[in-house]
Amino acid sequence: MHTILLVEDNPDHVELTLRAMRKVALPAKVVVVNDGPEALEYLAMCKQHEMPCFTLLDLGLPGMDGLEVLKRIRSDKRTHYLPVVILTTSQEKNDELQGYDLGANSYVCKPVDYALFLELIRKLGEYWLDLNRSPYCVH
């Protein structure tokens, strides 16, 4: 079974994302962590064949922000190629540029409209679980 790592501190956003993933029937187990250190700890404990197919990473995390988490993911040989999608409410161009500079695979702004959010989650799942060839995701 595929795994998605969701790194999000806002309980409402976690619930919204999980509900959307169930609604569009993503064929994956979702692991939810609430901050950067927890995300890095989870990834450190994963065996290579247990790594998530991709990570949905919020930027506005307490303590260690999402950009620092991304930087650490990219600096670790075990997780260097892990697909990371920044999923955020930030529309700041600087955040987007920093995300790509640090190696994000994608930068996606969360739409306010639930129907648009459902479609976004469906498309992300389709691309990252079905179409993309990740070194961590067995097809």
Q: The domain 2-130 belongs to what CATH superfamily?
A: Response regulator (3.40.50.2300)
In whole angstroms, what is the distance from residue 92 CA to residue 87 CA?
13
**64-97 pLDDT per residue, tens:** 999 999 999 999 999 999 999 999 998 999 999 9
Nearest-Å Rg of the Cα atoms of the chain is: 14
**36-69 pLDDT per residue, tens:** 999 999 999 998 778 999 999 999 999 999 999 9
Sign, CA dihedral 102-20-13-9, equals negative
In whole angstroms, what is the distance from residue 69 CA to residue 8 CA?
12
